[in-house]
Amino acid sequence: MNDSFGQHSHTAEQDAENEARALEVKKIMEEDGVISAGFYDIYKNATGNYHWMLLGLITAMCRGLELPALALIFGYVFEAFTMVPWGADMMHR
């Protein structure tokens, strides 16, 4: 059912269903309790996948160093332009 602005309107029946569903989800969450997943739990449950975790760590470190490395490379390249023997006027021609 649409209202005059083309948006969906809610009926009392839909609101009651939503409320019942929310209470059901709340009850399930209370029964489950708090789930903790610290670093120890992650490593404990990763049996047989330690090599993938190490590969992921190394890959993440390499990917994280890409931008700083490129910044250094570009800095060295632009610094090399200032060291030309004929002066900086040649670059502006």
78-87 tens-digit pLDDT? 888 777 666 6
32-88 tens-digit pLDDT? 777 777 888 888 888 889 999 999 999 999 999 999 999 999 999 988 877 766 666
The structure's pTM equals: 0.45
**What burial letters (b/e) apply to 30-56, b meaning 16+ CB within 10 Å?**
eeeeeeeeeeeeeeeeeeeeeeeeeee
14-34 tens-digit pLDDT? 788 888 888 888 888 887 777
